[in-house]
Amino acid sequence: MTAGFVFHSSFLDHLPGPRHPERPARLEAVTARLESSGLLGELDPAAPQLLDPEALLTVHSADHLARVRAACEHAPSAIDGDTTVSTGSWDAALRAAGGVIEACERVRTGGWKRAFCAVRPPGHHAERDRAMGFCLFNNVALAAAQLCRVGIERVAIVDWDVHHGNGTQHIFEDDANVFYASLHQWPLYPGTGAAQERGIGDGEGTTLNCPMPAGSQDPDWLGVFDAQILPALENFRPEFVLISAGFDAHRLDPLAGTSLSEEAFGAMTRSLMQFADQHCAGRLVSVLEGGYHLDALAACVESHVEALVGAGS
């Protein structure tokens, strides 16, 4: 079956500012590399629709929606010190969330085997009631919540962005049906993601944080991935795997101090594909999060997508 690709030109209309690291050039670099490598031709593209704003209420509050909408209507404006919006940000964010949900539905129903969503703005820092860390709405969390609504009983989210996905953890920390695992540099923005954070209430034990020291290299990161993340997934037995695929743990990224190569992301992708093939009927959707060195981001995405369109696609 086909590997899907979600992209839309409106994602380039989210303009945080000329010197902002989360800039449209990120997606331009990604799509150019996928085209030059020939990988784009191996993907089945889909241009996503705008998500109905009411659907955002599955994980976000009405007050949060109102604040983001007002900020976009009065743009350019800053929601916080890191998160700035333009007049195109509202539609870009709705289409990004809608695209991830659409990709999950296509994979769930068998139209695609797996998918990569080249979306922006990113999402994993967005909490139920707060936009932060370049993120407006939590794309992965919205998709996970929708999967649960349509009958998927256990969803796993694996987040390898170098920054901890505080928003995703916050949204699901008391939910026994969603497992959240994160590999991230520690200490680093946003300051969450300590190993002892394991979920609360009914969700206790369904959060796994693997904080890594600055300077960690491929053997360190992949060793923890194999020794902690994969066994925890085996224990949880998900029916669907989502990846918060940040590529800012690369050694060239300017916003962190982790020293991964692009090959590490291909290795993690293949491991999760193998897991999904064995336990989830192959159902896996990857969603772009961070990655701010353009050449490194493009190389990492190439390694990631090359794996996604590999055996079984």
Residues annotated as part of the active site: 125
Q: What is the DSSP letter of 68?
A: H
Return the residue matching tokens 């296509």: 106
d(CA 112, CA 282): 10
d(CA 132, CA 80): 7
In three-state secondary structure terms, 51 is coil
In three-state secondary structure terms, 77 is strand
Nearest partner of 171 among 135, 203, 195, judged by Cα: 203
Structure-token pair, residue 252: 């060239």
Structure-token pair, residue 188: 């680093």
In three-state secondary structure terms, 214 is coil
Q: H or E stretch including 210? A: strand 207-212
Please report the DSSP string for 162-208 in residue order. SS--HHHHHHHTT-TTEEEEEEEESS-TT----TT----GGGTTSEE
Q: Number of C-alpha atoms within 13 angstroms, CB side, residue 215?
A: 0
